Structure 1
Amino acid sequence: MLISLLSTQAQTTITVDPNKPRRNFEGWGMSLCWWAHGVGRWSAANYGHVVDLLTDSVTGLGYNIFRYNIGGGDQPGHAHMRQYGDIPGYKPTEAGAYDWTADPYQRNIVASIVAKGKPVIWEAFSNSPPWWMTISGCAAGNTGGADNLKPTYFNAFADYLTEVVRHFRDNWGISFRTLEPFNEPSAGWWTINNNQEGCGFVNNQNGMVKILGRSLQSKGLTATTIAAADENSIADAVTGIGKYDDTALSFTSQMNVHSYNGKNSRAAYATVGAQKAKRLWQSESGPLSWPGGNQMDVSLWMADVIIRDIKEMKVNAWLDWQVLDGGVWGSITPNYTQQTVVPNKRFYMHAGFSRFIRPGAQIIDSDRDSTMAVWVPSTGNLVLVILNSQTTNRNYVVDLSRFNSVPATATAYRTSTNEDLVQQPDVAIQNQKLTVIAMARSINTYVVKVAAPASIIVQKKNRPNSMQPWMRLHQPGLVVFPFGNDARDLRGKAIPILRS
């Protein structure tokens, strides 16, 4: 039957060339807001199950990058935020002290992630300054979406963010690798009394970055650098980073962008990132401009976004927005009343990438759209993802002749309308060619145990380890850190200092 099908349909050849320039891939991730502010209220067992779905690379998504939202906190009496969108700030008033008991639910999820004992990259980001630093007196935005941080409060905002970062390090054992002061700053839709925190920041991002960088330095937060600017449009990101001077760029180690809009600027973003020698993240995405349809439709659409973002923007990490959400935005559908979750079609689509393409992988060249090839040193696997969004089957011949040796078969997995990352019969490899049928409307993952060319082996041996664990564990739920004479875990419980 396979021979018959292949003989009557045209074949597309995919050439995978590991000898061309490659780049390191740090992994997959997501933001914790707003879902963690809700799920963190659940029982520890129930939210621990959610964290397993997010972090386990065998049965879950295997995500290893998490973005913690430093809430600004809105003015008392304001009641316009969406459910769980009212992230508390740590300094509710200008004259008052910091409240380190704030935001307990999001911190419950942080603690649960830490307790799993897996290497994690942490980023802290802000959607808005505290309300009392804003022009409008509202953490949702300003009239007409105008810039909302008071011009005389740049230093205060930097001090607030870095004080939170320092407290997490010194008291809760979490070192944020990057700190992002902006979120879609040029979008123009952060308006007063909106339903979520947001802050326009079109003007003087350059100045804010320099003030924030100096604040990090002055507090000895040398392990934390700045990421910027999480624009909603890739085109805006290209324009915006061009306005940063050399000093601002020296504080900025990473360029973040959301791939919702401006997709025609992917290649330009990659070029700018290379010119400025910055690590590139696609730090938030989702079906904002999706034309509509069902769960399978949005899964196919998002798979195309992932492949194009990674191949065309040449990003080092790919992050989702709200993995837990209803409708088509989430990969996991939560029931907040019953404290239960159900993975949906998007979950299995994402897992078709993230379970197999692991941190430290190298993106290698594959010369066809809708395909991606990745060498994973930690497993010795070549991972191929082939997307077929069409309504008819497509035949592919994958040329593996540039590898030193290949096995007799490849392992195959498929997500389709009626399949959720289901393992398929092994596919034969003949004459160093893998011949496959990508069924109509399907996402296909092929895993091949190959012997890498010498160029990959040399690069692997000489590559610095960018996947550092950003915490150390002693007991489940307890964070070990060598700071101060007393400590508390992320749930606020006193713990002893353990020194090594």
Structure 2
Amino acid sequence: MDINKCIISASLWAAVYLLFGSAGAYNNDKPCAPQEIYNRSGICVCNATYCDTITKETVNPGRFMAYTSSENGLRFQKVTSLIEVFRKLSDCSTTIELDPTTKYQTIHGFGGAVTDSAGFIWNNIQDEGLKQALIDSYFSDTGLEYNMIRTPIGGSDFSSRAYTLNDYPLDDKELGNFSLTYEDYNYKLPMIKACIAAASSQVFMVGTTWSPPAWMKTSGSLTGVGFLKEEYFEAYANYHKKFLEEYKRNNISFWAITTTNEPLNGVVDLPDFNCLGWTIEGMGSWIVDYLGPTIKNYDSTIKILGIDDQRNTLPIWFTAVILKRPEVAQVLDGIALHFYFNDITPPSMTTTVLKDYPDLFLISTEASITETKGVDLGSWDGLEKYAVSLIQDLNYNYTGWIDWNLCLDTEGGPNWVKNYVDSPIVVDAEAGVFYKQPIFYAMGHFSKFIPRGSRRIKSTEKYNCSNALKHVAFLTPENTIVVVLLNEDNKDRVIRLKFGDNQAKVLVEGKSIITVEFNNEVQDDSCDCD
């Protein structure tokens, strides 16, 4: 978006907000350096000397802070206004009633993935200041404040080649040749360490295997339909343990591992990249008899997350597996699900399948825009897809949300099978810049303002004569209330956030996402947020 258009848009928006509150440049934040993209929302450009920042403001008593990003070019536009006594003006005064005394799941965090490709792209940025700006944009207090990272154990499609950490010799059941690779030492580990150094809170690491060594599989190949040979069940469990040991030697500890990335891919032969299929009985036996004991005996604090596949596979990789081996529910700590095909799979499926297993938490471990087959610079549609899924998932008790690659090149790779996708940050190495996509800001409207330990609270929309407004609300450890709202309509709307006898009256621009924060002034003796 042209910088003059952006300034005009921001100025008009600030003028309108004089009726509601005041806008300003707080904490010396650097605004977006916009670049116009035809028929798109636009992107923010970072170079060696400049990159936009966002700092969360302290909420003053009796006031609220609102942060808006819009299709028209706003990016975390800040506005503050007074809390008022609630007034229902008409039956069409759209109101979201908040009840901070009714609490649901506790949040683990938000983040993205350090793949070989992301590490390669980041490592190839020539200017050290620009490299740090990319890391800070995600993990620092002036960025999105990410606190989770997922990384492949060995190779994935977002690598330059197909490989594992023990390809040779064949039939090496004792894993005597297990070792980290050039990609670990030069791409993933340096980027992970930079992320951890920039973060102000602990970064939860999640490890996932795409495929074991080909000699462990019935197919003898890293790709295509293939299952783990039963004689290698113990070796495959030890493969995960050895990975954890090697990364710990490099000062990286893991919060969780998953039970294999997208196992359905190795059953139906859909993708061309690394995968492993399972039978129902085989998966249950491996988790209960091998993976569980191996990991818990090594470090009982490491979480084991089941499925790591699409939501629509829950009946296969959970319900059916549990029927064969009920003990799986005791071994697993949580369920990992992916973002893809969520628009055709109702979120109520998670409630239906997991209702008898309240001790298992639910987390989203991968998301990307795939329909464009690569990068779609400035796409607002991408932001809306992310925001819809985030709000929906969080309202159905997900405790965290991890995006896919932290950065990619302008093609949406590198990817050894050319399975290109979009990314929140796109690096143009030749130009010496990187671009922040709208989906970058979609993630930030949640990760920046919903810290670990926050609890989702009850929120109910009332008095609405227009389309329902997608929203989710939280009580933070600082005893503030955070509400994220998505306006998919083209027209502006005035929304009342009611809590107790008070309200925050918020102007929500058409085609925008807004995060609102204010102090919790509803008395609750059971509040554990202090």
Q: Please classify the TM superposition score into its range, dividing by the shorter chain length.
A: 0.7 to 0.9
Write out per-residue CA displacement over residues 96-137 of structure 1, whole angstroms, 9 at most, x where no aligned residue.
622345422111112212333631111111111123323333
Q: For 1:272 and 1:10, locate their aligned partners in 2 and report how far apart those are by CA, in whole Å.
A: 37
Q: For 1:364 and 1:436, locate their aligned partners in 2 and report how far apart those are by CA, in whole Å.
A: 19
**Are 1:396 and 2:477 an aligned pair?**
no
Question: Aligned residue for 1:453?
Answer: 523
After the TM superposition, which residues 32-71 of structure 1 pair with which residues of structure 2 at under 5 Å, given as runs?
Answer: 32-39=114-121, 41-42=123-124, 46-58=130-142, 60-71=143-154
Question: Aligned residue for 2:438?
Answer: 345
Question: Aligned residue for 1:465?
Answer: none
After the TM superposition, which residues 247-266 of structure 1 pair with which residues of structure 2 at under 5 Å, given as runs?
Answer: 247-263=327-343, 264-266=345-347
The structure-2 alpha-carbon separation of the partners of 1:54 and 1:86, relative to structure 1 and needing over 3 Å to count, comes to farther
TM-fit CA distance, 1:348:
1.7
Q: For 1:186 and 1:57, locate their aligned partners in 2 and report how far apart those are by CA, in whole Å.
A: 38
Question: Aligned residue for 1:160?
Answer: 239
Q: Secondary structure at the match of 1:241?
A: helix
For 1:93, which of 164, 168, 192 is the aligned residue? Answer: 168
**Are 1:267 and 2:348 an aligned pair?**
yes
Contact 1:40 / 1:106 at 8 angstroms: preserved in 2?
no
**Are 1:181 and 2:259 an aligned pair?**
yes
For 1:362, which of 436, 449, 455 is the aligned residue? Answer: 455
Question: Aligned residue for 2:48?
Answer: none
Number of residue pairs matched? 412
After the TM superposition, which residues 342-491 of structure 1 pair with which residues of structure 2 at under 5 Å, given as runs?
Answer: 342-368=435-461, 369-378=469-478, 380-401=479-500, 432-455=502-525, 457=527, 459-460=528-529
Write out per-residue CA displacement over residues 441-473 of structure 1, whole angstroms, 9 at most, x where no aligned residue.
11111121233532453x336xxxxxxxxxxxx
TM-fit CA distance, 1:330:
1.1
**Are 1:125 and 2:208 an aligned pair?**
yes
TM-fit CA distance, 1:15:
0.4
TM-fit CA distance, 1:337:
4.7
| Amino acid in the other structure paired with 2:233 | F
TM-fit CA distance, 1:372:
1.4
Question: Aligned residue for 1:200?
Answer: 277
Q: For 1:122 and 1:320, locate their aligned partners in 2 and report how far apart those are by CA, in whole Å.
A: 13
Write out per-residue CA displacement over residues 36-68 of structure 1, whole angstroms, 9 at most, x where no aligned residue.
34135336655433221221243x221101112
TM-fit CA distance, 1:87:
6.4
Q: For 1:40 and 1:290, locate their aligned partners in 2 and report how far apart those are by CA, in whole Å.
A: 23
**Are 1:24 and 2:109 an aligned pair?**
no
Root-mean-square deviation over aligned CA pairs = 3.2
Write out per-residue CA displacement over residues 166-192 of structure 1, whole angstroms, 9 at most, x where no aligned residue.
2223x1232212111311112468749
Q: For 1:115 and 1:4, locate their aligned partners in 2 and report how far apart those are by CA, in whole Å.
A: 42
Q: For 2:122 and 2:268, locate their aligned partners in 1 and report how far apart those are by CA, in whole Å.
A: 26
TM-fit CA distance, 1:20:
1.6
Write out per-residue CA displacement over residues 243-294 of structure 1, whole angstroms, 9 at most, x where no aligned residue.
2333222221111111312554422313544521112101112334699996
State which drifts further: 445-454 or 154-163: 445-454
| Amino acid in the other structure paired with 2:299 | L
The structure-2 alpha-carbon separation of the partners of 1:300 and 1:293, relative to structure 1 and needing over 3 Å to count, comes to farther
| Amino acid in the other structure paired with 2:404 | W
Q: For 1:335 and 1:19, locate their aligned partners in 2 and report how far apart those are by CA, in whole Å.
A: 48
The structure-2 alpha-carbon separation of the partners of 1:31 and 1:155, relative to structure 1 and needing over 3 Å to count, comes to same
Contact 1:27 / 1:316 at 8 angstroms: preserved in 2?
yes
After the TM superposition, which residues 165-314 of structure 1 pair with which residues of structure 2 at under 5 Å, given as runs?
Answer: 165-169=244-248, 171-187=249-265, 191=269, 196-203=273-280, 204-210=282-288, 211-218=290-297, 220-232=298-310, 234-242=311-319, 243-244=321-322, 245-263=325-343, 264-276=345-357, 277-288=359-370, 295-311=379-395, 313-314=396-397
The structure-2 alpha-carbon separation of the partners of 1:225 and 1:448, relative to structure 1 and needing over 3 Å to count, comes to closer
Which of structures 1 and 2 has the larger relative contact order (alpha carbons within 8 angstroms, sep 6+)?
Answer: 2
| Amino acid in the other structure paired with 1:330 | S
Q: For 2:262 and 2:108, locate their aligned partners in 1 and report how far apart those are by CA, in whole Å.
A: 23
Contact 1:149 / 1:199 at 8 angstroms: preserved in 2?
yes
| Amino acid in the other structure paired with 1:24 | T
The structure-2 alpha-carbon separation of the partners of 1:382 and 1:201, relative to structure 1 and needing over 3 Å to count, comes to same
Q: For 1:455 and 1:70, locate their aligned partners in 2 and report how far apart those are by CA, in whole Å.
A: 45
Q: List runs of 5+ in structure 2 lacking aligned partners.
A: 1-15, 21-87, 413-420, 462-468
Aligned-pair identity in percent equals: 21
TM-fit CA distance, 1:295:
0.9
Contact 1:40 / 1:108 at 8 angstroms: preserved in 2?
no
Write out per-residue CA displacement over residues 316-344 of structure 1, whole angstroms, 9 at most, x where no aligned residue.
11111123235672111112456642212
The structure-2 alpha-carbon separation of the partners of 1:212 and 1:85, relative to structure 1 and needing over 3 Å to count, comes to farther
Write out per-residue CA displacement over residues 378-436 of structure 1, whole angstroms, 9 at most, x where no aligned residue.
3x3211111110122223222111xxxxxxxxxxxxxxxxxxxxxxxxxxxxx612222
Q: Secondary structure at the match of 2:384?
A: helix
TM-score of the two chains, using structure 2 as the length reference: 0.70
Q: For 1:274 and 1:289, locate their aligned partners in 2 and report how far apart those are by CA, in whole Å.
A: 33
